[in-house]
Amino acid sequence: MKPENVFQLEIAGVLSDKLSLFLRFGFTWLVALPLTILPVSPGMSISGLMMLFLLTTFFGAVIATARRRSEGLFSRLRLLPLSRAQIGGDYLLAGTLLGVVRLTPVLILFALVRGEKISASLLLHVAGLLVVTVFVLHGAGMLVGMVRKSNQEAHLLGALATGLIALVSDVLPVHAGMQGFARAWNPLSMLAGSLERVFHGAGSSEASQALACGLVLVAALVVFVWRGLAGKFAGNPTLPLFSKGGLGGFGKGTGQGEDPGDGKTAPRE
Amino acid sequence: MTMNAIEAHDLVREHKQGRGVCGVTLAVARGECFALLGRNGSGKTTLTRLLLGMERPAAGTLFVSGERIEKGSRKHLGNTGASLDTSIHWEQLSGWQNAYFAARSYGLARSAVESRLEELFVLADLRRCAHDPVRTYSFGMRRKLSHIQALCHDPELLVLDEPTGGVDAHFCTKLAGLVSQRTRQGRTTWIAGNDPDWISGVATRVGFMDSGKICAEGTPEALVREVAPFQEVRVVMEKAPPLPFPPIPGIRSLVQNGNEATALMQRDPHLVPGLVTWIASHGGVIKALDVQRATLRDAFLLKTGRELKP
């Protein structure tokens, strides 16, 4: 795979390290297995899965971001004409895609083993919420990971933040009144709620919710395909940061396809 | 808008440890190869990072490629290739993948990337391991890969920090040729380094940096001439008649010791043939001749060696 942007770079990096890939996916599925197939209470099963989601997405993003910072990968990227938004956005999208791919089998297994009378709209609802949850948690994890540079501090801060998110998401039931509040805004809490409906066989989801989640899925798919294929056929893989000839007027040979006469300058897009 | 490739006025960037850049003013014209020599911690890398917009100046102004540089300035990077003193790569990916990503990020056309990278990987002698993961590369190979990434889009401004550190002599020679070619083509190169011998062969202008300031600046020849205006010529003769003091302007002294004579003269390239002709005219048959001139290294040591200063 020839990476053309940070999104493709990250995906290529993950795919090229087979052992790491096996460990990442293996850990998730190994932890998820008893929570889905063993006859534990639904509360325990869903809370366990939500904690797993938190660990694999939020905590994982904290550690990965701190590692990238300490290894100087962000500094390396900052030498290229890429904006912070491009770099961060591509990392976020790549992390979201990997998180969704990693966690989708867990939800499928949960639905198959523990689900009752599941409608298509409910499935759509769960899938949309999964994408949103992974996206939000991964983004939050990246922000926390940027705070500390050392891995040790990032681990500590990440663990503390994971606990806090678990509390405000009603993953760890501390107060009954908290649930309604959390489910009004917190995607992790909403996902837990939708899994409860899967478990209890609540049937279909509200049409508006299913539609919103369907749109989220379509948008996510479009964005993943766009970043995954950006630059593969034609055009510049980076976002159009600068227009041609708009590089500060450096004069002759601005690199925008000009040939200074030596025949060496490679054309640009 | 400035016409120079790089222009700095009273640039200040201080670090907590006390090192950094303390009031640097300089201008690098387009098409120049400017090299900065300095001790470790003299501020070379800080100044280089300022050029790249990786650090924010505390005071002063800096223009690169006509753009005023603040922290986070990005616009000039499209036409700049930088290889810093630490080689950072995506270790699990191959050298080719790393370079490909850099080339495409700089906006090099897909059709041009392969041939350009092929050319550079061959130049760096990395072709055979181009598709191996970078984690299997040696230190020197990683440095070469950094240089490839900086050069892949044939930038208007090339920034090299410690370019010869860890790389083999073959590559150093090829890199010197490449940088000289760039200079002939009117492209600008900025070098921060610690290798005066290599720099004297490529730089059109050199600055000596000490304690965050540029303490001397000029062409390599002028800097050397400034600290050591004389050269020493040692002549070994087969047949050595007693020689009088030569009446050649520019020769300061001549000391003869048997078959050997040592002359101290100005750094004028015409003086050595003049001395040889004069010795021959006095019946001397020359067997060997050795010209010892001060180098950029000597000039640098004398200019920045604090313990050598009065």
CA torsion angle B89 B91 B93 B96 (round to 10): 50
Q: State residue A268's pLDDT score.
A: 56
Q: State residue A60's pLDDT score.
A: 94
Residue type, B194: N
Q: State residue A205's pLDDT score.
A: 64
Residue B301 has pLDDT above 60, yes or no: yes
A5 Cα to chain B: minimum distance (Å): 7
How many other C-beta atoms are found inside a 10 Å radius of the C-beta of residue A126?
24
Which chain B residues contact residue A72 at CB under 8 A? 86, 88
Instruction: Give the E-state strand segments of chain A in sequence order.
Output: none
Give the nearest partner residue to A12 out of B93, B113, B185, using CB atoms. B93
At residue B64 the predicted structure's pLDDT band, cuts being 50, 70 and 90, is very high
3-class DSSP state of B196: helix
Question: Which of B157, B217, B220 shows the shortest CA–CA distance to B186?
Answer: B157
Residue B130 has pLDDT above 80, yes or no: yes
Each of the 269 residues of chain A gets a pLDDT tens digit; together they read 899 999 999 999 999 988 989 998 999 999 999 988 888 888 888 989 999 999 999 999 999 999 999 999 999 998 999 988 999 999 999 999 999 999 999 999 998 888 877 788 888 889 999 999 999 999 999 999 998 778 888 899 999 999 888 888 877 766 666 666 667 778 888 888 888 888 877 666 677 888 888 899 999 999 999 999 887 765 555 544 333 333 233 333 333 333 333 434 445 55
- Tell me the CA distances in angstroms from B294 to A173, B133, B196, B221, one per residue in order: 79, 44, 12, 10
DSSP string, A166-199: HHHTTSS---HHHHHHHHHH-HHHHHHHHHHHHH
Chain A residue with the nearest C-alpha to that of B108: A268
- The DSSP call for residue A205 is P
CB contact under 8 A, A248 and B75: yes
Distance CA A256, CA A267 (A): 7
A58 Cα to chain B: minimum distance (Å): 23
Sign of the alpha-carbon dihedral angle for A110, A112, A114, A120: positive
Distance CA B96, CA B119 (A): 12
Distance CA A145, CA A160 (A): 12
A29 contacts: CB under 8 Å, gap ≥ 6: A105, A106
pTM: 0.83
A173 Cα to chain B: minimum distance (Å): 41
Which chain A residues contact residue B52 at CB under 8 A? 79
Chain A residue with the nearest C-alpha to that of B6: A250
> Where do runs of H (alpha helix) occur along B58-126?
95-105, 110-123
Strand order in the sheet with B251-257: B251-257, B260-266, B230-239, B285-293
Task: State percent of chain B over pLDDT 90.
Answer: 64
CB contact under 8 A, A253 and B110: no
A162 contacts A54 by C-beta, under 8 angstroms: yes
Give the nearest partner residue to A2 out of B66, B97, B187, using CB atoms. B97
CB contact under 8 A, B93 and A3: yes
B204 contacts B219 by C-beta, under 8 angstroms: yes
Task: State percent of chain B over pLDDT 70.
Answer: 96
B162 Cα to chain A: minimum distance (Å): 16
Residue type, A29: W
At residue B191 the predicted structure's pLDDT band, cuts being 50, 70 and 90, is very high
3-class DSSP state of B310: coil
Q: Which residue has the higher pLDDT, B83 or B294?
A: B83
Residue B17 has pLDDT above 90, yes or no: no
